[in-house]
Amino acid sequence: MKLLVVCQYYHPEPFRVHAICAELAKRGHEVQVVTGMPNYPMGQLYPGYEANRPVDEELDGVKIHRCPIHPRKQGPVHRLWNYISYPAAASRWLRRSKGQYDAVLINQLSPVMMANPGLRYGKKAGIPTALYCLDLWPESLLAGGVRRGSCVYRLFHRVSKKIYRAADRLLISSYEFRDYLHREFDLDPAKIRYLPQFAEELFQPLPDKTPAGTRRLLFAGNVGAFQSVDTILRAAERTRELPVVYEILGDGTELEALKKLAQELNLDNVEFLGRHSLEEMPAYYAGADAMLLTLKANPVLSLTLPGKIQSYLAVGKPIIGAADAAAQRVIQEANCGFCGPAEDCQALAENVRRFCALADPAELGRNGRAYSELHFSRKNIMDRLEETLLELAGGR
């Protein structure tokens, strides 16, 4: 197949779409990616891309065209400009493209409008489209402070409905998305398929860690408002008596505010490890006794299954969480740790105490690894994605 992949974010930004495209190329398919200049999560253009001019690259057998876009920076004006600039730039490039494709794969995060260039191109060229829904819209706006029923919400409800209905196949990363999409947009269930994310290949099972002395609990990933990392700090305040160190590995818009909060609470059991490359993550995971997962208490976030869960499960580490619905369901089904309600720092503190009292906490990690192999196998998920794309392409 000749595949067009439309996605606003791509390597070196930390998203799995790079692994998906590399695997499709490895399986013999021709893959052309149309993306933006890397600037996530901090909102500044990555080194080497500061000129913000169109550039063509090739990585892991995948052809990549990068469109100039307005970086996210800080504040709603820059964010809105960023949301508008990518669809406009990608659409311009696709109008001039001479490529001949068999199918279009759209990797849809926020904003949902990033899907428009792929959908319009597919319709104009008569090419089938598959939209991989990783963020639900317009519900994601609620997590950002927009009120349900407001003019902004109603506008993006119409925009989202048009986009989700336009795709020939809708791939969902969380079971919980299905009912919402059917209820809100009356989507035909036959065109919705569950396709969870998988862990990157570098996340392999780690040896069991025998409890000894201080327990190290690691949060890894983006440090933004949706991640509610302050819940970890407030749990740390409540567990000063325990031989536990809370490690925050990552960067994001809330990092400086969290460092200030740690100083105000006089926390000597919290360490900020900074931002590190994806390739460095397994080494930090290896030193952890358990992994931390926190999310903001929000209806849409409760439906979302954060991609870091797959990484946590794949390495075989216990998980201690403060999250609702989808994330809580997986932790309970896998029997890989403990999870209380989102933003409930007291429940998180109690679950940390439960974890520290375990004689064999590594058993939870082994349970998680077994669950990962059964439900989130990279090969099985890629087989299902390839099958869907081949079906859409109709043997082209």
Round to whole Å and give the CA distance between 294 and 151.
30
Kind plus residue range of the DSSP H or E element containing 6:
strand 2-6
Give the pLDDT confidence score for residue 218 in this predicted structure.
97
252: left (phi over 0), alpha (psi -120 to 50) or beta: left
Q: What pLDDT does 141 receive?
A: 84
Domain 2-198+377-393, CATH among 3.40.50.2000, 3.50.50.60, 3.60.110.10, 3.30.70.20? 3.40.50.2000
CA distance 222 to 167: 29
For residue 85, CA distances in Å to 30, 35, 91, 258 come to 27, 11, 10, 31
**Residue 69, strand partner residues:** none
Q: Where are the domains of the chain?
A: 2-198+377-393, 215-375
- Closest by Cα among 258, 270, 199, 269 to 223: 258
The token pair at 56 is 């063509």
User: What DSSP string runs through 124-174?
Assistant: HHT--EEEEE-S-TTHHHHHTTPPTTSHHHHHHHHHHHHHHHH-SEEEESS
Domain 215-375 in the same topology as domain 2-198+377-393 = yes
Block mean pLDDT (10 aa), the chain, length 396:
97 93 97 96 89 95 96 82 93 90 96 96 95 91 82 93 96 90 90 90 77 89 90 97 96 92 96 89 92 90 87 95 93 97 98 95 95 92 96 78
Whole-prediction pTM: 0.82
| pLDDT for the residue numbered 114 | 96
CATH architecture of the region 215-375 = 3-Layer(aba) Sandwich (3.40)
- Which pLDDT score, from 0 to 100, does residue 97 have? 87
Distance CA 389, CA 29 (A): 11
Which residue is listed with tokens 């609990």?
A: 217
* Distance between CA atoms of residues 386 and 24, nearest Å: 8
Structure tokens at 167: 């795709």
The DSSP bridge partners found for residue 194 are: 172
Instruction: Return the exposure string of 241-279: e unless at least 16 CB atoms fall within 10 Å of the residue's CB, then b.
Output: ebebbbbbbbbbbbbeebeebbeeeebebbeeeeeeeee
> CA nearest 354: which of 252, 239, 263, 255?
239
Question: How many Å apart are CA 361 and CA 235, to the nearest integer?
Answer: 20
pLDDT of the residue at 395: 52
CB proximity list for 329: less than 8 A, separation 6 or greater: none
